[in-house]
Amino acid sequence: MHDFEYEAPTTVADAVQLLANHNGSARILAGGTDLIDQIRLGRFAPEVVVDVKKIADLQALEISADGLKLGAATPCYRIYGDEAVCRDYSALADATKIIGGAQIQSRASVGGNLCNSGPAADSTPALIALSARAVIAGPGGTREVPVEEFCTGPGKNVLQPGELLTALVMPARPAHSGSHYLRFIPRNEMDIAVVGAGASVVLDAAGETFVSARIALGAVAATPLYAKEASELLAGKPVGDEAIEAAMAASRKIAVPIDDMRGTVEFRKHVTGVLTRRALEKAIARARENAGS
């Protein structure tokens, strides 16, 4: 393994300073479940590794009237271990429960999953479905980016040298809303998504009409996708097969997957529709149980 220096700042300002000083030759360490392997395999050869776990703000998990604020380094187990997250942000709980096994979930963070920017990242479609925004600190201050605009290609994202993802913020969930994330894997555990789908819906009080919906897809393009047309066409439609099938077709239309060792184009396109349906159906069921608090 390549030699590197290790730094563990305790404030965002110090972290940003360190990153800026190394002008692109630093890598950020949160849980390290991707980074350590990438350094070991020679994909990255950073001069310095900046551990951000000791920054208190990056370990936040706060639910308020404004919504959910999730520190970028907050590990998965704390997310799915939080009752309010499980109730109101179910898709995020679903995703963090299936990333790796217990050991990985104790370290790995949703922020790290997003910054690694893999097309098959499990938590990213859940974030997109829940309208999450990425909060980024940098030498020039703080900016926010919708999560669906964060990734720019496999392993690539909008972070500039010196920038650090500090938090993910999601709006409060209204009554009669529900969400779900699921993925297709050939095995039942310890696997990577061949296709992933996240959905959130808001229904009318009767639970019969979509007020709004957001659908997101993973592993079917170079980046996780927000399925805009599929999401928007549901608004105002009665909950039923006709609307869902229209959303399935619209989801399939934007899927531009590749043939690889995990699946074929044919398989991924077909399953994109199947998982769109399954994600919606579970989100709808949850919304119908959720009369609001």
Task: Using the rule CB under 8 A, give the single segment among 124-132, 138-146, 190-198, 214-222 that binds another protein.
Answer: 190-198
Q: From the list 271, 279, 283, 284, which residue makes contact with another protein (rule: CB under 8 A)?
A: 271
Torsion from C-alpha of 73, 165, 91, 235, nearest 10 degrees = 170
Pick the stretch among 19-27, 123-131, 188-196, 235-243 that binds another protein (CB under 8 A). Answer: 188-196
**169 vs 265, which CB is nearer to another protein?**
265
Told to check if 242 binds another protein by CB under 8 A, we report: no
For 70, the enclosing helix (H) or strand (E) is strand 67-71
Among 270, 281, 285, 288, binds another protein (CB under 8 A): 270
Coil vs helix vs strand at 92: helix
Q: Give the nearest distance from C-beta 198 to another protein in angstroms.
A: 17
**Residue with Cβ nearer another protein (175 or 190):** 190
Q: Distance (Å, rounded) from C-alpha 248 to C-alpha 243?
A: 9
Q: Does 65 bind another protein (CB under 8 A)?
A: no
Q: Is 103 in the site for another protein (CB under 8 A)?
A: no
* Contact assessment for residue 32 and residue 111, using Cβ atoms and an 8 Å cutoff: no
Site for another protein in 3-22 (CB under 8 A): 3
Near another protein by CB under 8 A: residue from 64, 65, 187, 292: 187
Closest alpha carbon to 74 in 82, 66, 83: 82
Binding mask 134-173 for another protein (x = CB under 8 A): ----------------------------------------
Segment interacting with another protein, rule: CB under 8 A, options 77-85, 164-172, 197-205, 261-269: 261-269
Under the binding rule (CB under 8 A), the answer on residue 262 touching another protein is yes
Is residue 102 at the binding interface for another protein, with CB under 8 A as the rule?
Answer: no
Q: For residue 12, give both structure tokens.
A: 């965002």
Q: Among residues 255, 254, 249, which one has the least CA distance to residue 277?
A: 249
Q: Measure the CA–CA gap between 194 and 159, rounded to whole angstroms.
A: 26
Quote the distance between the C-alpha of residue 253 and its chain's center: 22
Compute the distance between CA of residue 99 and CA of residue 30 in angstroms, rounded to an integer: 15
- List, in order, residues 6 or more apart from 163 with CB less than 8 Å away: 16, 19, 136, 137, 138, 139
Choose one: 49-57, 90-98, 254-262, 280-288; the region binding another protein (CB under 8 A): 254-262
Of 140, 209, 212, 224, the residue nearest 171 (C-alpha)? 212
260 binds another protein (CB under 8 A): yes
Q: Which residues are at the interface with another protein (CB under 8 A)?
A: 1, 3, 184, 186-192, 194, 260-264, 266-267, 270-271, 274
